[in-house]
C-alpha cells in the first residue's frame, strides 16, 4: 500500500510544469488528485489521463484562485468527487520580471491577486474540510531571497507567501494542520521555455558573479496554470 492511499489532494495550477509534476507524484503515492487549471483544459486533461493510465485517480477542475467563489468550487470538487480533503498544494502563480519604471497597477494586482490572494482564498475554503493531520503546501520561490533586479513585484509576492506560511502554521497548528513552504530554484518547465530563460547561463555563471545577474533582464508574463 502506498503511503498516501485513501488521501485526497488538491493541486492548484496543475495543468503543466511544477504543478503537473506534483499532481502526478501525489497520485503515484496513492492519493486521489484534483488537478486545477485556470485556462489550460487540454493540459489538465493530459495530466489526468497520465495519472489514470498509471492506475491513479484524478479529475480536472477549472477555477480562478483569485475569485472567492471559484476558489471555493475547486475545494468542493474534491469533496464531491472523492469525499474528503487531506492535502492542499497552493501552486498557482504568475511571474513577469519588469524594471521599476514598467510596473503598472495591472501588473501589481495581477501578481498579488493570483500569487497571494489566491493562496489565501483557496486555503480559507480548504480548512473547512481539512482535519487533523491535514497538510497545506505553499509554493514559494528562491526569488524571495535572491531578490534580483526587475523582480520587485514577483519577489514581493513570494516574500508574502513565506510570511503567510509562518502565520498560518501558527494559526492552524493547534488544529493539527501542517503548513509549509516549498521554495524551488530554477526549474526547467514550459514557463521557463516560453519566458526564454537560459537555465544553463544561470547554472554555469562564474562563482565570482552574483547569481542575480542571470536574471538581469525583462521576462515576459508566464502563467503556471
Q: Tell me how far apart the alpha carbons of residues 48 and 35 are, in angstroms, rounded to a whole number.
A: 7
Question: What element of type H or E holds 182?
Answer: strand 178-182
Is 37 in the active site?
A: no
H-type alpha helices, the chain: 17-28, 41-53, 68-82, 105-112, 118-126, 143-146, 152-172, 190-194, 199-204
Distances from the Cα of 72 to the Cαs of 1, 80, 142, 167, 193, in angstroms?
Answer: 31, 12, 29, 21, 32
Which of 125, 119, 135 has the alpha carbon at shortest distance from 169? 135
| DSSP output for 29-68 | TT-EEEEEESS-HHHHHHHHHHHHHTT-EEEEEE--TTSH
Active site residues: 154
Amino acid at each position: 500500500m502506498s503511503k498516501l492511499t485513501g488521501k485526497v489532494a488538491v493541486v492548484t495550477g496543475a495543468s503543466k510544469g511544477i504543478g503537473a509534476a506534483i499532481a502526478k507524484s501525489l497520485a503515484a503515492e496513492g492519493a486521489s488528485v484534483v488537478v486545477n487549471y485556470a485556462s489550460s483544459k487540454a493540459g489538465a486533461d493530459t495530466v489526468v489521463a497520465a495519472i489514470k493510465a498509471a492506475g491513479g485517480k484524478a479529475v480536472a477542475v477549472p477555477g480562478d484562485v483569485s475569485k472567492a467563489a471559484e476558489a471555493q468550487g475547486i475545494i468542493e470538487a474534491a469533496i464531491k468527487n472523492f469525499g474528503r480533503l487531506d492535502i492542499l498544494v497552493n501552486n498557482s502563480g504568475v511571474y513577469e520580471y519588469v524594471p521599476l519604471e514598467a510596473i503598472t497597477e495591472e501588473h501589481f494586482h495581477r501578481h498579488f491577486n493570483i500569487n497571494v490572494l489566491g493562496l489565501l482564498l483557496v486555503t480559507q475554503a480548504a480548512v473547512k474540510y481539512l482535519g487533523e493531520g491535514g497538510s497545506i503546501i505553499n509554493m514559494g520561490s528562491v526569488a524571495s531571497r535572491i531578490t534580483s533586479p526587475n523582480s520587485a513585484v514577483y519577489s514581493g509576492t513570494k516574500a508574502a507567501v513565506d510570511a503567510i506560511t509562518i502565520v498560518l502554521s501558527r494559526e492552524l497548528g493547534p488544529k493539527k494542520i501542517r503548513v509549509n513552504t516549498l521554495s524551488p530554484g530554477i526549474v526547467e518547465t514550459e514557463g521557463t521555455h516560453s519566458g526564454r530563460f537560459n537555465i544553463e547561463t544561470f547554472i554555469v555563471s562564474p562563482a565570482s558573479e552574483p547569481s542575480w545577474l542571470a536574471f538581469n533582464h525583462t521576462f515576459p508574463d508566464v502563467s503556471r496554470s
